[in-house]
Amino acid sequence: MLQVSFSASMGVRLNMLSLVCGVLSAGLLCGLVGFFVHQTIHHEDTAKFARGAALFAGIGASFVFVFSAAAWQTSTHLDYNMFDVCLALIVLAVFIPAIRWPKLMPLWAAIVAVGFSLVVYDEPVPSSSSAGTGSS
């Protein structure tokens, strides 16, 4: 069994999680913006530039996101907001197949609803071991 050890405090590990979620969010945002820009270009004169425009728009949106004060603050400090942004972008990325296959729209809509409810819900779900004890 492979065991990886990372000798750092819990605060450093959680800060690393925020950083990884920030980088993943930037990549997901690039892909999502690129996809939607590519889908909106239909004119035959500009269709040959659709792929390059989508890539340029996605990279531009990612740079704006990464260098914004809010993303910079939550990616470099212990904060749960970047995880929420990452989870919301993952849910939106899951929504893209619904655009390609409309017959699966109810399934994708349910996945999106559950995903967004996980992002919005602030309180942790009580564990089964402490749910019925009645101790305060």
Report the distance separating Cα 112 and Cα 22, nearest Å.
21
- Give the domain ranges of the chain: 10-123
CA proximity to 88, closest of 29, 15, 4, 23: 29
pLDDT tens for each residue of 26-55: 999 998 898 888 888 777 666 778 888 888
**pLDDT at position 60, please?**
92
Q: Is the pLDDT higher at 10 or at 132?
A: 10
DSSP 8-state secondary structure symbol assigned to residue 103: G
CA proximity to 88, closest of 66, 121, 57, 60: 121
> Helices (DSSP H) in the chain: which residue ranges?
10-40, 50-66, 69-76, 81-100, 105-120, 128-131
% of the chain residues with pLDDT over 90: 7
* Candidate from 25-34, 59-68, 92-101, 123-132 with smallest mean pLDDT: 123-132
Whether pTM exceeds 0.85 = no
CB 4 within 8 A of CB 71: no
Task: Look over the chain and give the mean of its residue pLDDT values, rounded to a whole number.
Answer: 76
* Candidate from 56-60, 82-86, 125-129 with smallest mean pLDDT: 125-129
**pLDDT at position 101, please?**
77
121: pLDDT strictly greater than 70: no
Structure tokens at 6: 């990372």
CB 57 within 8 A of CB 117: no
pLDDT tens for each residue of 66-87: 888 888 887 777 777 888 788 7
